[in-house]
Structure formats: C-alpha cells, structure tokens
Amino acid sequence: QVQLVESGGGLVQAGGSLRLSCAPSGSIFRVNDMAWYRQAPGEQRELVASITSSGSTNYRDSVKGRFTISRDNAKNTVWLQMNSLKPEDTGVYYCNAGIWVRASLSYTEYWGQGTQVTVSS
C-alpha cells in the first residue's frame, strides 16, 4: 500500500521557520498533483499550497509570500518551506498526492499521517 510519510513539524516561535517534507513510498508509477493542507483544532481542513506535476503552484492568501511549496519529481517528494510563521499557522499539516499505483495503474489520492506545527507567541 502506498504511504505518504511526513516529517519536519515542531514547535517554533513566531517569526521562525520550519520545513516540512512528504516522501511517498510504495509501488508508485507516477505522482500527479501534490498539496499541503492543515487543520487547526476544531476547524475544517484547509488547503495551504498545491503544486502540479509541471511545477505550477497555488497558495492560500494568508501564506503568500511566506510559504513555498516545491517538489522533486525524481524522488516524488514535496516540501513546504514555511517562513515568518505566525501563531495562526498552528495546526496539523497533511500532505496530499494523487498517485498512479505501478501494478494496476490505478489512480488514488493519498493523505499523509499529519505532522504537528505549533507556533508560539
């Protein structure tokens, strides 16, 4: 079964930086679009940033100029560089990816396990 393994979360003071990583594992043929979502306690999950297989990016307004999403297609890995962090950025960050499984060429969207990001004031 394909899994998305996330890392890089932690506790940081406001104004600090974190870099999240998401590395798919399993019998992957191709990874299509990838994205980062986040969910604060008691809130709905929201899209933070996305990146297509060709490198086109999209960010929610609240993180523009502070966050950068990038990917390495050779490694099927996506990162989220988060700078100038604010307390409102606090939440569990989830990686999302559309993946064709090699054996069957079936397409499924997968979610990472989530990594906690806490920004203190």
Question: What contacts 36, CB < 8 A, 6 or more positions away?
Answer: 20, 22, 47, 48, 49, 50, 69, 78, 80, 93, 94, 95, 96
Query: Across the chain, what does the average pLDDT equal?
Result: 96
Q: pLDDT tens digits for 62-107?
A: 999 999 999 998 889 999 999 999 999 999 999 999 999 988 889 9
Tell whether the model's pLDDT for residue 1 goes beyond 90.
Answer: no
Supply the pLDDT for residue 111: 97
Q: pLDDT tens digits for 13-70?
A: 999 999 999 999 999 999 999 999 999 999 999 999 999 999 999 999 999 999 999 9
